[in-house]
Every structure is written in C-alpha cells, then in structure tokens.
Amino acid sequence: MKAAAASLIVLALLIGVIPQFTDCQSQGKAIQLPNGKTLPMKCHWTARAEIAVAVPLLLSGILLISCRHRESRRNAALMTIVSGLLGILLPTVLIGVCAKPDMPCYALMKPTLVLAGSLVVALGAGCFIRAVRQRDANP
C-alpha cells in the first residue's frame, strides 16, 4: 500500500507539473487575433485544470500513506480513481488539446496525462481492493 501511495504522489506531481511545460503557451504559441492580441490555446486551460486534479491526488497519496483506518483508505482510493479518470478526461474529452499532431501538447502532454491517469486509476483500484479486504482487527 505504501509503495502504491508513494507512486501516486509521484504521479500527482507529474500530472501537475508536466502540462505546465508542454502546453503550447509554454512554447510561445498562441492564437493570434486580427486586432493583434493573442489568446491562449485550449491546451493551456487543460494544463491549468490538471493542477486541480493533481492537488487532491497528492492528498489522496498522503492519506493512503498516513491513514490506517479501512474507511479512510477506501475513500482515499475512491478519490484517487476519480482523480485519475478526470486526469484522462480533461485532455481527451472535457477540454482537449490542440488538433495538430506536431504541437507539443498533442505529442507529449496528452499521452503523458493519459498514461499517468491510467496508472493512477490502476493504482487506485488496487488500493481500493486492498482497503476493502483489510481486516477490521488491523484497522
């Protein structure tokens, strides 16, 4: 459980940090308006939203390490699964990334988040099963 929780903390950091350096805005790319102003591309908002996924995920990891109660671990694992799913859905369905495959957000950010999110869901499911099986005598 501790190894899984430690992995979750690392994954939470990856989910929170990597998008900030692989979105188009960080590479100096933006939508140019006819009046000369620039707008961030949608991958920028995905990157920002991933911070909101990473923080609860980080807390879940810490909870899974520090809490010994079955219910707490079970709930933290559930929160982990939901965070992982959101981590996948943000760049794929909910907000998305730029459409061109040569954009860094499409080539790097999206697959990294999908991969990390899948690992989070798998680890969360593992932790949930272990928490459910955890004996009451050893809460």
Partner 1 sequence: MNVPRLIHRNVTRNPFRSGVVFSCAFLLAALPFAVTFITEGGRASLQRVLGRLGADLLIVPEGAEVKVETALLMGKPAPVWMPRENLDKIARMPEVARLSPQVHLATLAGASCCSASEMFIVVYEPDTDFTLRPWLDQHLGRELGPGEVIGGSQVFLPNPKANILVYGSPVSLKGNLARSGTGLDQTLFMTSETAREVARMSKTRAEQELVVPTNQISAILVKLQPGTLPERVAARIAREVSGVTVIQSPALFQATRRELTGLMRIIFVILTLVWLLSVTVAGLIFSLAAHERRRELGVLRALGSSRAFVFRLLLAEAAALAFAGAAGGIALCLTLAFCFQEAIVFLLKIPFLFPPPLLLAALVLGGLLVALLSVVLAALVPIWRISRMEPAQAMRE
Stretch of 6-14, 47-55, 79-87, 108-116 contacting partner 1, by CB under 8 A: 108-116
Contact between 101 and partner 1 per CB under 8 A: yes
Contact between 82 and partner 1 per CB under 8 A: no
Contact between 106 and partner 1 per CB under 8 A: yes
Q: How far apart are CA 56 and CA 11, in angstroms?
A: 12
Q: How far apart are CA 59 and CA 13, in angstroms?
A: 11
Contact between 99 and partner 1 per CB under 8 A: yes
Q: φ and ψ at 82, to 5 degrees?
A: -65, -45
Task: Give the number of C-alpha atoms closer than 13 A to the C-alpha of residue 66, restricted to the C-beta side.
Answer: 7
Q: φ and ψ at 67, to 5 degrees?
A: -85, 140
At 32 the three-state DSSP class reads: strand
Selected from 28, 35, 102, 137, the binder of partner 1 by CB under 8 A is 102
Contact between 27 and partner 1 per CB under 8 A: no
By CB under 8 A, name the binding residues for partner 1.
32, 34, 99-102, 104, 106-108, 111-112, 114-115
